[in-house]
């Protein structure tokens, strides 16, 4: 850490500002200590009281920088951390427009400005908050724990500043304490920018629809496709697995930068398709959806060989691997339930993709027969039901071969963006 005022003390009304080394000094913690090293100390005068202390630099205003608040028996002190937030890594998906907007709003308004950045861990809210701090170029008071009387201390600082509370719900269980700090700052005469981040969705109703307290409420979501592509391009070693990695990441329930980097790292180490370690990896995929096709092995043309029966349907096929195979055979098959549709009995298989199956069309009902008619038409097209049976009132049981394959399901951010992977 480098600074023009390293090892300096900064005197504020009602508080002492000290360096990190001073926090370890017992003299600061115990006013009754009688042993002093006079060669390194001078007398400081506070009103009528004289006290041994360090010779120090003094500033009328806090220089721009990052400060953490500490409480000592003598009052609150500020520990200088750095002149600004620094990042020793590439920032992906930087919210440039939001950061510029906040700066423009601050420059063109008066009074306090508040914002809440909400979202899951790893979605970029804290990085964005730090970037806002850097862009506003003011002292940043970082609150890392709850202190009684902190509102009076903040009010005593006679200059514009930022109050930054990261994951505020963990520090202020009662949000009324936070409101006290925000409302108390109204009487300071100087501007305060409140930046709060939270991992939870719940926010006190007194903060919502109150632009005078919180002007911006921003929810950070999963990574967008263009950001994922950039991360993969930068970090993936085995470029031949690029499409597989993008496909896997885009099918996750939650996509954060930490998750994306970890998946890429796993692929780099083991040089394998992410689908190979999906059963081991701590990242939850979206609910499994499947495509179920009629398989006609006699046909040679693809569109006659495979006829789509159900597309992108939710089933319990994932239970098949855990099914007792002996019980499976004795019960005449595995009942594959298709959500909102019905069931198909799976008889046996050689490769867990092509199955001998049985379907009773009598099980499929709908109000106007249109759904049943659609199914029956497909079986007629495949040659499994003779044409003359189409108008028969009796709905037949059909034995056939089917193919079950996973249906690709996009994360919501991929769907909303309209992004498609070119396979």
113-128 tens-digit pLDDT? 999 999 888 889 999 9
Q: Three-state SS for 363?
A: helix
Average pLDDT score over the chain? 79
Angle at 279 (CA atoms; ends 278, 280), nearest 5 degrees: 90
pLDDT in tens, 39-88: 456 887 777 777 777 777 778 899 999 999 999 888 898 999 999 999 99
Q: Pick the closest to residue 177 from 202, 207, 217 (CA basis).
A: 207
Residues 344-376: pLDDT tens digits?
888 888 777 898 998 887 766 555 566 767 888
Interstrand relation of 289-295 and 306-314 (parallel, antiparallel or unpaired): antiparallel
Domain boundaries, the chain: 10-82, 96-220, 225-276, 289-407
Of the two residues 356 and 181, the one the predictor is more confident about is: 356
Q: Find all residues with CB under 8 Å of 309, minimum gap 6, and list them.
A: 292, 293, 294, 375, 378, 402
Give the C-alpha separation, 134 to 112, whole Å: 18
Q: pLDDT value at position 338?
A: 83
Q: Which residue has the higher pLDDT, 330 or 229?
A: 229
Domain 96-220 architecture? 3-Layer(aba) Sandwich (3.40)
For residue 313, is pLDDT > 90?
A: no
pTM of the model: 0.67
Residue with more model confidence, 341 or 147: 147
Measured distance CA(219)–CA(241) in Å, rounded: 32
Report the share of the chain in percent with pLDDT over 90: 33
Q: What is the pLDDT of residue 91?
A: 93
Taking only the tens place, the pLDDT of each residue in 279-292 is 899 988 776 678 89
């Amino acid at each position: 850490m480098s600074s023009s005022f390293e090892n300096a003390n900064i005197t504020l009304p009602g508080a002492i500002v000290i360096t990190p080394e001073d926090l370890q000094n017992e003299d600061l913690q115990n006013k009754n200590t009688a042993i002093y090293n006079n060669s390194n100390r001078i007398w400081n005068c506070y009103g009528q009281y004289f006290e041994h202390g360090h010779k120090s630099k003094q500033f009328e205003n806090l220089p721009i920088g990052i400060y953490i608040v500490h409480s000592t028996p003598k009052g609150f002190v500020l520990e200088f951390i750095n002149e600004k937030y620094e990042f020793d890594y590439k920032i992906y998906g930087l919210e440039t427009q939001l950061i510029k907007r906040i700066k423009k709003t601050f420059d063109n308004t008066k009074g306090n400005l508040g914002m809440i950045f909400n979202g899951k861990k790893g979605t970029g809210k804290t990085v964005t908050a730090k970037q806002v701090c850097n862009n506003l170029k003011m002292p940043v008071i970082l609150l890392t724990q709850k202190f009684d009387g902190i509102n009076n201390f903040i009010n005593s600082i006679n200059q514009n500043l930022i109050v930054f509370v990261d994951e505020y719900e963990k520090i202020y269980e009662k949000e009324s304490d936070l409101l006290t700090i925000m409302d108390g700052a109204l009487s300071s005469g100087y501007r305060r920018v409140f930046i709060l981040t939270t991992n939870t969705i719940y926010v006190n109703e007194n903060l919502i629809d109150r632009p005078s307290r919180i002007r911006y409420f921003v929810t950070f979501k999963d990574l967008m496709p263009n950001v994922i592509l950039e991360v993969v391009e930068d970090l993936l070693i085995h470029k031949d697995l690029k499409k597989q990695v993008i496909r896997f990441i885009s099918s996750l329930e939650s996509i954060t930068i930490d998750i994306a980097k970890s998946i890429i790292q796993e692929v780099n180490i083991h040089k394998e398709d992410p689908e190979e370690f999906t059963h081991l990896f701590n990242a939850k995929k979206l609910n499994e959806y499947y495509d179920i096709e009629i398989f006609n092995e006699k046909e040679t043309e693809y569109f006659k060989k495979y006829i789509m029966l159900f597309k992108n349907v939710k089933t319990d096929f994932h239970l098949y691997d855990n099914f007792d195979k002996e019980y499976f055979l004795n019960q005449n098959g595995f009942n594959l339930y298709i959500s909102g549709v019905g069931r198909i009995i799976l008889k046996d298989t050689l490769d867990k993709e092509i199955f001998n199956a049985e379907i009773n069309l009598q099980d499929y009902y709908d109000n106007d027969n249109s759904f049943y008619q659609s199914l029956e038409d497909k079986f007629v097209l495949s040659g499994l039901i003779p044409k003359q049976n189409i108008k028969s009132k009796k709905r037949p049981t059909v034995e056939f071969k089917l193919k079950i394959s996973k249906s690709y399901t996009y994360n919501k951010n991929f769907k909303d963006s309209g992004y498609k992977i070119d396979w």
